[in-house]
Amino acid sequence: MTQRLPRFLLLAGIAFALTLYRIWVINHLGIDLYVDEAYYWGWSQALDWGYFSKPPLIAALIGGSTALLGKGLIAVKLPSLLLYPFTAGMLYLLGKRLYSEEVGFWAGLGFLSMPLVSALGLFVSTDAPLLFFWSCALWFLLKGLDQDQRGNGWGAWLALGVVLGLGLMSKYTMAAFLPSALLLLLIETRHRVWLGRPQPWVALVIAAAILAPNLYWNWQHDFPTFRHTADITRIGQGGGRGFHPGQLGEFIGAQWASIGPVAGILLGWALVRWRRLWLEARHRLLLIFTVPLLLLVSFQALTGRANGNWAAPIFVGGMLLITGAFFYDKRRWVVSAVMVNLLIATLAYHWPDAARLSGVGLSAKTDPFKRARGWTNLADGVAPYLAEHPGSILVAEDRELLAHLIYRLGPPEYAAWNPEGNHPIDHYQLTTTLADKQGRHVIYVARHPDISGVSSHFTRSTLLGKVVVPVHKDFQREVQVYWLEGFKGY
């Protein structure tokens, strides 16, 4: 009889093959960095304990990968390319611990095949370390709680504190793990004893200690990350909150699209019959680590706004829940969910090929990768003007332009245009200034020809040229390049 390949090795092999395939896809698509990737890469060149919109771990990860492999496309994206398969491995371990090896395998594969992971797997983002550390935190929490009958071991609890802290240094959404963990301890009678033991509280102190340098950095810089978070959630905008059912509908639709059409049906089904699932401890555990965050961000969407990925950690517990709850009596649904998701990913990755083969071609409306195209050629078009005026400071109209120009050209000096001074809207405005550079010359890259509001602050303005990069027949990138002499100050 042929011995069956261990499920973990099979999942590892599939994850390895998918990662190689995604690396090939990145190169095959001919895309450049997405704006946030270029932005994060810039952070990685000046490592700090915090940045304008995010905690620092993503910059440290990119800094490590590019230090080893250079600043190429794959090197910048490598943290996401590796962390999603590692997260799938954690789902395997969690599924095996809670249910069976078979459930662990399909939960891990289900996670790897999710449209959210298929899309974000091509781009480096803070969600990659967040989901990894969330799954690790769930694993160490379960290990710690399992010591109820075995004594007061510390190892799992100390590890829990570390991964919680690293998760918080990835994205503040990790904080949502804490109320779910507390809820679990309160609800499960056999676990309440831990509320009176030091281990969970020491884990919390460790997490806080790891986050502390970021909090100190925020305090030093007038809490820009918290202000940014308040702005994008409309918490800090007077009159910005209200009742927005359309936003809620969009958010729920984004969750369904993120987990996949069949898996979304299964997750919805599980949530509808939550009372029945609640009766079983392992299902109850996963509901506790799925529903509260989903409800919280749904409320945020209803009363303000919420991006589709703001509740991404729900898919750790959600994927485990639908696999564990439905695998034994509805196995075909679980397998179909994975197969459909893999098909969707393949179609999305090869959509440009299909458009090309059909003779229709891509357009601004049909290219899902449009926002990551044309930047290298645009920067190369600006390069000669910068080279012709050594000693000039590179300034661009917005964060997107400046991030891509910095990544490609590596200018000796750059700065954001910020006449307001006290109201930064990105990391460049927070960390660079022209205020102390009176008399200096600037290469200014603008999307619009009218720069009178900027040029009035200089003694002389000269249009050096225009850079036009055709991307599709109905879409091109275009900038004007100016030489601005003698900065007079804001």
Distance of CA 55 to the CA centre of its chain: 12
pLDDT in tens, 72-117: 999 999 999 999 999 999 999 999 999 999 999 999 999 999 999 9
Give residue-wise pLDDT tens across range 118-131: 999 999 999 999 99
Sheet architecture: strand order including 414-416: 414-416, 393-396, 442-446, 475-487, 458-472
CA distance 189 to 124: 41
pLDDT band with cut points at 50, 70 and 90 for residue 356: confident
Q: Which residue has the tokens 């898919």?
A: 315
Q: Which of 374, 431, 442 is nearest to 408 (CA)?
A: 374
Q: What is the Cα 169 distance to its own chain's centre? A: 13
User: Residue 149 above 70 pLDDT?
Assistant: no
- Residue given tokens 């357009």 in the structure block: 363
CA distance 24 to 384: 32
The CA distance from 52 to 65, in Å, is 22
What is the arithmetic mean of pLDDT over 338-357?
94
Rounded CA-CA distance 411/424 in Å is: 22
Q: Are strands 475-487 and 442-446 parallel, antiparallel or unpaired?
A: antiparallel
The DSSP secondary structure of 111-148, one letter per residue, reads HHHSHHHHHHTTS--THHHHHHHHHHHHHHHHHHHGGG
pLDDT computed for residue 233 by the predictor: 76
- 274, two tokens: 């939550």
CA 2, CA 253: separation in Å to the nearest integer? 44
- Rounded Cα gap, residues 356 and 341, in angstroms: 23
Task: Write down the pLDDT at residue 147.
Answer: 77
What torsion do the CA atoms of 324, 330, 331, 337 make, to the nearest 10 degrees? -90
At 486 the three-state DSSP class reads strand
Instruction: For residue 310, give every residue at least 6 positions away whose Cβ sits within 8 Å of its Cβ, in sequence order, or none.
Output: 173, 297, 300
Q: How far is CA 155 from CA 131, 144, 148, 230, in A?
A: 22, 8, 14, 36
Confidence category of residue 441, pLDDT binned at 50, 70, 90:
very high
At 160-213, the pLDDT tens digits run 999 999 999 999 999 999 999 999 999 999 999 999 999 999 999 999 999 999
Q: Provide the total of helices (H) and of strands (E) in the chain, helices listed first.
A: 23, 5
Mean pLDDT for the stretch of residues 257-274: 96
Q: What's the rounded Cα separation, in Å, for the pair 181 and 177?
A: 6
Amino acid at 352: P
Q: How many CB atoms lie within 10 A of CB 474?
A: 10
> Hey, where are the domains in the chain?
7-351, 374-487
For residue 328, the model assigns a pLDDT of 85
pLDDT of res. 478: 97
The answer on pLDDT for 269 being more than 60 is yes
Alpha helices in 350-481 (DSSP H): 351-358, 375-388, 399-409, 427-431, 452-455
Q: Mean of the pLDDT values across residues 441-470?
A: 96
Give me the residues paired with residue 470 across strands.
476
Distance between CA 457 and CA 173 in Å, rounded?
42
Confidence of residue 239 (pLDDT cuts 50, 70, 90): very low
Find the range with the poorest average confidence among 151-160, 179-188, 243-252: 151-160
Return the structure tokens found at 459.
Answer: 């003694």
Residue 2 has pLDDT above 60, yes or no: no
CA distance 490 to 480: 22
Q: Are 121 and 84 in contact (CB under 8 A)?
A: yes
Q: Average pLDDT for residues 271-285, to the nearest whole number?
A: 95
Give the number of other CB atoms < 10 A from CB of residue 365.
9
Quick check: 148 pLDDT over 80? no
Question: Per mean pLDDT, which range of 164-173, 234-243, 281-290, 425-434 is the poorest?
Answer: 234-243
Using only C-alpha atoms, what is the Rg of the chain?
25
User: Two tokens at 273?
Assistant: 């019959």
Cα gap 294→274, rounded to integer Å: 14
Say if residues 24 and 97 touch (Cβ distance below 8 Å): no
Instruction: Please state the rounded mean pLDDT for residues 9-35.
Output: 96
> What number of CA atoms fall less than 13 Å from residue 73's CA on the CB side?
19
Residue 439 φ/ψ region, left for φ over 0, alpha for ψ in the -120 to 50 degree band, beta for the rest = left
Q: What angle is formed at CA 213 by the lines to CA 207 and CA 218, rounded to 5 degrees?
A: 115
User: How many residues are recorded in the chain?
Assistant: 490
What are the start-end ranges of the H helices in 190-223? 198-220
- Model pTM? 0.94
- pLDDT tier for residue 1 given thresholds of 50, 70 and 90: very low
Residue 286 contacts residue 143 (beta carbons within 8 Å): no
Distance (Å) of CA 77 to CA 26, 122, 169, 465: 10, 7, 19, 33
Q: Is the pLDDT of residue 353 over 50?
A: yes
Q: Confidence class of residue 423 from pLDDT cuts 50, 70 and 90?
A: confident
